[in-house]
Amino acid sequence: MKINGSVVLVTGANRGIGKAFVETLAKMGAAKIYAAARDAQEIEVASPAVTAVPLDLTKPNQIEAAAQRCQDVTLLINNAGMTCIENLMDPPDDAAFREVMEVNYFGPLTMCRAFAPVLKHNGGGGILNILSMAAMMCVPGAPAYSASKAAAEMMSHGVRFELADQGTQVSIVYPGYVNTRMSETFPVKKVSPSTIAARCLKAFEKGEAIIYPDLFSRMTHDKLVNETEFVQTEPQAAVVQLVEAFVEHPEAGT
């Protein structure tokens, strides 16, 4: 599908990649952009095409309200997410793990369910799910985050299969290190959110189902394909090797 003339809803649109998606969509000629976030007042409405929408992914009633309000949507971009820096064996309870699953897995799933009829009514449209390279491997120090993104990955494949008959294009994005608040503590070169947004939308227009929008995500994919057992059994060592190779690569951060 084409971005020009489309009607798009972006979750997590108040900052980072989500904000970049809104700005890039406007530049590419989207007819209307629903920019959604928990606090709609945080959204910068810099274009007449942008409408701020309050949306908390942990509240199904707000998701249903958004679907009822935004009946003209032709592209859903599930971008909102959260991290979780907890070891699986350490916390006295699993509240943090449940929260990250609610935001990163159940939230996007509920969004897909709510907007599938809308997309069907409008000719099929598309869904773009923004995941992470963490979906491909267990990131040391953030195993629950990886688990939530891996769950979202399998959910995205399932949604693609189930919505194929109604003509809905479903694509998955695996960003690596992006210059956002979530990754600010990692001392490596990072791609700008605007670059990620532009690459994702161009790949989506081409019909790509799986999108690796930056060097580190492609390197992670290749590492997993070529050294599957090593990545799965020695994730810490695998990450060290990936980061060392990435930092030394001439295209790092570009």
Instruction: Tell me if residue 145 is catalytic.
Output: yes
Measure the CA–CA gap between 86 and 82, rounded to whole angstroms: 13
The closest alpha carbon to 125, from 77, 197, 196, belongs to 77
Of 194, 129, 179, 136, the C-alpha closest to 157 is 129
Q: Which residue has the tokens 């295209």?
A: 251
**Active-site choice (105, 145, 177, 212):** 145
SS3 of residue 141 by DSSP: coil
Is 32 labeled as catalytic in the residue annotation? no
Pairing of strands 210-211, 169-173: parallel
The one catalytic residue in 19, 32, 34, 149 is 149
Longest C-alpha distance within the chain, in Å?
51
Instruction: Give the pairing type, strands 7-10 and 75-78.
Output: parallel
Where in 134-197 does DSSP place strands (E)?
Answer: 169-173
The candidate with the shortest Cα–Cα distance to 77, out of 122, 43, 36, 118, is 36
* Catalytic residue annotation: 145, 149
